[in-house]
Every structure is written in structure tokens, then in C-alpha cells.
Amino acid sequence: MAPSPVVRTYPLSSYSFDTKMEKHKSIINPITRLDSIYKTEGIRRIVEGILLVHEHNHPYILLLKVGTAFYKLPGGKLEAGESEINGLKRKLSSKLGPDPPSPQPDWQIGECVGVWWRTNFETSAVYPYCPPHRTKPRECRKQFVVQLPEREYFVVPKNLQLVSVPFYQLYDNAQKFGHVIASIPEQLSRFQFNTIDE
Amino acid sequence: MAPSPVVRTYPLSSYSFDTKMEKHKSIINPITRLDSIYKTEGIRRIVEGILLVHEHNHPYILLLKVGTAFYKLPGGKLEAGESEINGLKRKLSSKLGPDPPSPQPDWQIGECVGVWWRTNFETSAVYPYCPPHRTKPRECRKQFVVQLPEREYFVVPKNLQLVSVPFYQLYDNAQKFGHVIASIPEQLSRFQFNTIDE
């Protein structure tokens, strides 16, 4: 039997934070945009990073908070032909790294722990399996564990807030965080957390 | 990056089923019994098997139904000093194998996909992490993927019913199946299912 996968976690206080200008945002209606992209590019591939810290030996994940009540994992859409790992590194730098030409964090992308499917863009419904009788899913979202180093410098766009949320708040709380984020404690339950204090 | 783990699934119709006499059951109050076992043996270790089949390319798991509304994974409690793999094989044979001296199925135990903790025996609450400020969890439940062969002969105790339930019924349905079983679709979302038809 394979041993449990291990993630090292450091306290939130190990990391430093700064802000940067927000990126230019598209002003086209999102659903229209998603539908038109699907027609030209096919399935939309999203990759997201699970960045872990700890407080009092309990695991927390870093989430981007948009406005007052919407949470998302750092990540985004892959370009055509782009690999998952390269795309996730690019997106993590765009969301959490300093502006170029400053050197970017050396993102250590670990294993994929979750895969979710979306079959249309009119609802936010996602499924942890390719729904039966749906031969053409519109979107596939994958979550990867990211091993953070002992120290890091995160730079967050001004329109977003980086927050750390404990597993005990995420668990069984799809209403607040959505199914993808709320199920991370279950998906990581097989991991061994090596909590390292300063 | 590691490739997705693979499970081969065969149609339910590949397998044959029979029944056997039910095992002698303890008549002591379960909570009193659990508390007294904890005092003498320490943490209770439960191992459970996830046995997969498919219908129309959609994954199903095999569950034991007790009475009209209670579902459980095949498995049970490890003996003191017993390994997880050996204990799970023993429990799978006890729940799903023919009575000795008939040869038992050659259970192929795969990776652990879920770990759940229970901190007291008065409630059925389980958590996919060791709850903070609880230094002494009472029970640890682990779920393992079991790779079924192309053919198998299952023999089920008369007081239980073996049922196959599709992922789309399990997902987001903790009310009916409990959190451990309902979260299996999320925990297996990263797997690639090789659905093999007859």
C-alpha cells in the first residue's frame, strides 16, 4: 500500500503580503462570453491551486475573496495547448505574484485532488463526475495541491482579498463556499499534514 | 505530475450473488459497548472497501443496506495489531465472501481515498480531519478503493441487502447516505474509470 501523501504546512505568519493594481476585466456578459468561447475553443479547462497553511496544528487554505461573500481558489483558464502545470503556475503568478519583471514565486505544483465538470453556463452547478448522457461537458475544473515554501511574498490585486479559512469552516459548508471549495477537507483527508512551526 | 489513478469497472451483470446465514450479533447497547472497548483498547480503527461497477459508463458503488434506510460500506473494525490491508480483506470476506472452507475472493486493495474521525460515540458526527482541540479521537475510519476482477461471486448475509448506487445519487446526498458515503464521488473525481463492457 502506498503511504499517505505528505504536505508540509507553515503558519500564516511565515508569509508576507502586499497589493497590486487590479487586472483589466472583461465587460462582456460572462455567459455570452463563455458560450462564444466554447463555440470557438471547445471545453474550457480551469486549473486551481490549493495553498495550505496552519494555525494551532489545524489546516487552513488560502482563498481569494471577491466582494463580501464570494470565495475562489487562485487559478484560472488554460490557454489552448497549454499544460495544466504551466498554466497553473502562470495563473498563480498572475493572482498572487509581484508584477513583472520582479521574480515570481517558484510554485511547486503537487497532485490533482479534485476534478469537477460543468455541463452548461446558465447555472453554477458542477459535478464531481462527467454527468451521464452528457457527451459534451462545457468546462472541466481541476484542483492541485501546491506545496508552499517556508517563506513567500504574495502580492494580491487590490480588488481581491486573500483570506485563510480553516478546514472546520469549509467542511459541509457548500452554501457559503460552493461545492468545489467545501469538499477540499474530504479530498485532503487522506493527506498527512506535517505542521512546521517557526 | 503523476497520472490519474485508474480503476477498471465492469458491469454489475458480470457478478453473481448468493446469500448466507447472518452472523451472531452483539445484543449489548452499542454506545456502552463502544465506550468500554475504547477504555481497554484505545482508538477504534475501521476500514471499509469501495467496490465499483458501472452501468452505461457511469460509476456505481456496492453498498450494504441494513433495514429500509441505512447504508454502509463493506468493512469493519480492525483487531489490535492487525494491518489495514489484512483486516479489510478479512472483513470483506466476512461480509461478501462464501462461508469457509470455500475459497475467498482475492481482494485487491487499492489506495486509501478517505479518512474520517469521530470524537465521541454519543453522536454519529464524523469529520474529514482530526478536530482541533481534540487530542484523543475515539474512532478513525478509512476507505480504500477495491479493484474488482472481471468476475466474482458474492455471498451476502441474509439480514443485509447488497445494492449498487450511482455516483449521481450519492453526490450531495449526505442526508440519505451519511457524509462518508456521500462524499465518495468527490474523493474519486480525480480517478480515471476504465469502463469495460462484456
With CA atoms as reference, report the closest residue to A148 among A115, A181, A110: A110
Between CA A18 and CA A97 the distance in angstroms is: 10
CB burial of B64-75 (b: ≥16 within 10 Å; e: otherwise) equals beeeeeebbbbb
Instruction: Say yes or no to pLDDT of B134 above 70.
Output: no
pLDDT at A40: 81
Average pLDDT over residues A160-168: 96
From B116, which residue of chain A is nearest by alpha-carbon distance? A189
Q: Give tens-digit pLDDT for B80-99.
A: 999 999 999 999 999 999 99
Residue B150 grid coordinates: 472481471
- Name chain A contacts of B57, Cβ cutoff 8 Å: 132
Q: Does pLDDT of B26 surpass 60?
A: no
The total of other beta-carbon atoms located within 10 Å of residue A44's CB is 17
Instruction: Give me the phi and psi of B14, to 5 degrees please.
Output: -70, -20
Distance from CA of A127 to the nearest CA of B (A): 8
Quote the CA–CA distance of A54 and A72 in Å, as a whole number.
Answer: 19
For the cut 90, the answer to whether the pLDDT of residue A82 exceeds it is: yes
Ordered by where they begin, the domains of chain A are: 6-195 (3.90.79.10)
Cross-chain Cβ contact A171/B129 below 8 Å: yes
Give B120 to chain A, closest Cα distance, Å. Answer: 17
A19 to chain B, closest Cα gap in Å: 31
Q: Which residue of A7, A50, A186 is the best one to mutate when testing the B interface, meaning the one whose CB has the most B CBs within 10 A?
A: A186
pTM: 0.93
Q: In the prediction, which pLDDT does B24 show?
A: 64
- pLDDT of B115: 97
Backbone angles phi, psi at A37, to 5 degrees: -65, -40
Cβ neighbours, 10 Å, residue B36: 11
More confident residue, A57 or A49: A49
User: So what's the pLDDT on residue A163?
Assistant: 97
Residue B58's CB: how many other CB atoms inside 10 A? 17
* Consecutive H or E run containing A194: strand A192-195
Chain A residues whose C-beta is within 8 A of a chain B C-beta are: 1-2, 4, 56-59, 84-85, 109, 111-116, 127-129, 131-132, 166-168, 171-172, 174, 179, 183, 185-190
- Model confidence at A26: pLDDT above 80: no
Facing residue for B186 by CB, picked from A84, A109, A114: A114
